[in-house]
Amino acid sequence: MDSSGARLGYVSSIAGSQVTGTIDDTDGAAAAQVRIGALVKMQTPESVVFGIINGLRNSDATGSDRGAVEVGLMGEIMFDDTGAVTGNFERGVSIYPSLGEEICIAVSEDLGRVYARSDKPDVQVGTFYQDQSIGAHLMTDDLMGKHFVVLGSTGSGKSCTVALLLRKVLESNQNGHVILLDPHNEYADAFSEWAEVINTTNLYLPYWLLNFEETAEIMCTGDGAERQAQMGILKDALVEAKKMFQPEGEDTSYITIDTPVPYRLGELKRIIDNAMGQYNRAESVGPFQRLLARMESVSNDRRYAFMFSSRIVTDNLAEVLGRLLRMPVDGKPISILDLSGVPSEIVDVVVSTMCRTIFEFSLWSAHPQTVPILLVCEEAHRYVPARDNAGFGPTKQSISRIAKEGRKYGVSLGLISQRPSELSDSIISQCGTIIAFRMSNDRDQHFVAKVLPETSQGLLSVLPALRTQEAVIVGDAISVPMRVRFENLAAEHRPRSGNAAFSESWQHDYDYDDFMQHTIDRWRRQQR
């Protein structure tokens, strides 16, 4: 074997992809470099096999005084015809090391080969923990095309990393199409020159774009039999109203309850009112009256103006989608949907409509012309919760469909959450790349342990000790799981997610008259 690299010990047992080694470091040279996540190497007759240290023990299984090291095998580099190590690193192991084979610490040259840049398009996002001279690269197509998830406690660096990842990708792909759901208005400043910021002051989401479930969530009141009665009335009236909007003589046989075609709200009310007139008893007209009252209420509510403000109904779906999906890009490849001003009772409906519309647009695009789209969801646990009865069902269904089928149609998903244990594990299991920041909660660590591959389980133990901007990355976007230090992001490109500077602000008293009045005015006018 190549003599470079301090000898740590020898292989004492092999079970599948896991190797246990007995530490036999007589001069202590290797012991000083041994740490969880470090890369080691072992020789076979035809290759050098590499693995990651997942665990350390004071003694091995035989009870001897020598320590033991647990290694997860990751891949290999095959020898050429002359016996030299000149090939490329390949994931997976075809030839296993023998019992008694030496285990050595990988040196910089080895690290360079294992973590070398792929010949695929990639972006450098930071440096490798074991050797700061080696850049950490993520393969763009595998990161975006196979979904990714960013997890970690508040303050661990998630938001800055999301901004860094998107900026890096968009720097080299300036005609991208990214939609970012921003529930706290954090990201507008981070992409000021590249983003179309959409909030309640300039958002137009026509009510007729909603499907039946989304419309019923807004229009119907009560629960149980009362709600079912209103939904039945609404269902029949919606189809009729949509057909009546079409030009006379045009085929309307294709129109269903969920077809995204315009209809006039006034016409819908008239249809319901006429249907109500067919009943004489008060108990029979009750659901009609309550449905009409709710429709009148929401259509006149200023908070819902982004849905109901337009009195002239036109078929402008192409314009609405073009702005959301950045088609054409026009120098702004990212749409930031600021949800902070959306009424809390319908924010899930808005997210459901956006996610469903993005997927269905790509689904019905002609295949040769399909344009890849990335949907990034902050606070993802709000939309795809682990519990089936939590959240708004259609929102979870829309995102779940993207997770399961989106890559077939060019729709990718990026999920960000500080509460991993509250996320749907079935959706996370569809994500090809996991970026895990510091997390100390046992439930969150247990959740991450379920979705990490077996050979990377040892890296789980470092999660509580990760520093800010450090993360463990596993999955398709990298060649081998690694611990990474992400690059610093320029101050002007950071999201507004930092903690308030109490110690600085509380040193002074201020004249708060203008501040108070300005805040109250924005509050009343719902202007951020």
The CATH number given to whatever domain includes residue 95 is 2.40.30
What pLDDT score does 29 carry?
A: 64
- Contact assessment for residue 199 and residue 341, using Cβ atoms and an 8 Å cutoff: yes
Residue 146: inside a domain: yes
| Domain identity same for 412 and 427 | yes
In a domain, 121, yes or no: no
Same domain for 350 and 243:
no
Which residue, 308, 332, 349, sits at the end of a domain?
A: 308
Report the range out of 172-176, 341-345, 520-524 with the highest average pLDDT: 172-176
Let me know whether 340 and 423 are in one domain.
yes
Task: State phi, psi for 465 to the nearest 5 degrees.
Answer: -100, 0
Residue 454 in this model has a pLDDT that exceeds 70 = no
Query: Is 77 a domain residue?
Result: yes
356-367: pLDDT as tens digits = 999 999 988 866
**316-335 pLDDT tens trace:** 899 999 999 999 999 999 99
Domain shared by 459 and 352, yes or no:
yes
pLDDT for position 391: 67
Residue 59 domain-assigned (yes or no): yes
Task: Let me know whether 82 and 225 are in one domain.
Answer: no
pLDDT of amino acid 42 = 94
Instruction: For tokens 């046992």, name the residue.
Output: 442
Q: Is residue 506 part of a domain?
A: no
Please determine, for residue 32, whether its predicted confidence score (pLDDT) is greater than 80: no
Mean pLDDT of the chain: 86
The last residue of one of the domains, among 308, 328, 348, is 308
Q: Which residue has the higher pLDDT, 392 or 11?
A: 11
Cβ contact 305:191 at 8 Å: no
> What is the per-residue pLDDT across 98-113, written as a single tens digit (0 to 9) for each?
999 999 988 888 888 8
Structural domain boundaries, residue 33: 7-114
Give residue-wise pLDDT tens across range 160-193: 999 999 999 999 999 999 999 999 999 998 998 8
Is residue 290 domain-resident? yes
User: Can you tell me the distance from the alpha carbon of 466 to that of 463, in angstroms, rounded to the nearest whole number?
Assistant: 5
Residue closest to 413 by CA, chosen among 377, 368, 445, 362 = 377
Task: Mark whether 320 and 278 lie in a shared domain.
Answer: no
* 457 vs 496 pLDDT, higher one: 496
Residues 115/20, Cβ–Cβ less than 8 Å? no
- The residue among 263, 288, 308 that closes a domain is 308
Query: So what's the pLDDT on residue 1?
Result: 45
Residue 227 predicted with pLDDT over 80: yes
Q: With H, G, I as helix, E, B as strand and everything else as coil, classify residue 13.
A: strand
Residue 458 in domain: yes
pLDDT at 499: 63
How large is the average pLDDT for residues 419-442?
A: 87
Q: For 278-292, what is each residue's pLDDT tens digit? A: 766 656 788 899 999
What is the model's pLDDT at position 458? 64
- Beta-bridged to residue 179, according to DSSP, are 335, 375
Q: How many structural domains are present in the chain?
A: 3
Q: Is the dihedral of CA 465, 468, 470, 473 positive or negative?
A: positive
Q: Is residue 163 part of a domain?
A: yes
Taking residues 508-520, report their average pLDDT.
80
300 and 334 both lie in a single domain? no
Instruction: Indicate whether 279 and 185 sit together in one domain.
Output: no
Element (H, E) at 20: strand 18-23
Of the two residues 511 and 435, the one the predictor is more confident about is 435
Same domain for 192 and 220? no
| Residue 455: per-residue pLDDT | 58
Same domain, 198 and 221: no
Which pLDDT belongs to residue 119? 77
Residues 257 and 143 in one domain: no
Q: Write out pLDDT tens, residues 36-73.
A: 778 899 999 989 999 988 888 875 455 555 688 889 89
Query: What is the spatial distance between Cα 372 and Cα 178, in angstroms, rounded to a whole number?
Result: 9
DSSP label at residue 97: P
pTM to 2 decimals? 0.85
Q: Which residue has the tokens 């007759």?
A: 45
Which range is most confident: 160-169, 343-352, 466-475? Answer: 160-169
224: left (phi over 0), alpha (psi -120 to 50) or beta: left
Residues 213 and 253 in one domain: yes
What average pLDDT score do residues 285-304 get? 90
**Mean pLDDT within 493-514:** 77
pLDDT reported for residue 241: 94
Residue 479 has pLDDT above 50, yes or no: yes
Question: Does 148 have pLDDT greater than 90?
Answer: yes
Q: In the chain, pLDDT over 70 holds for what percent of residues?
A: 90
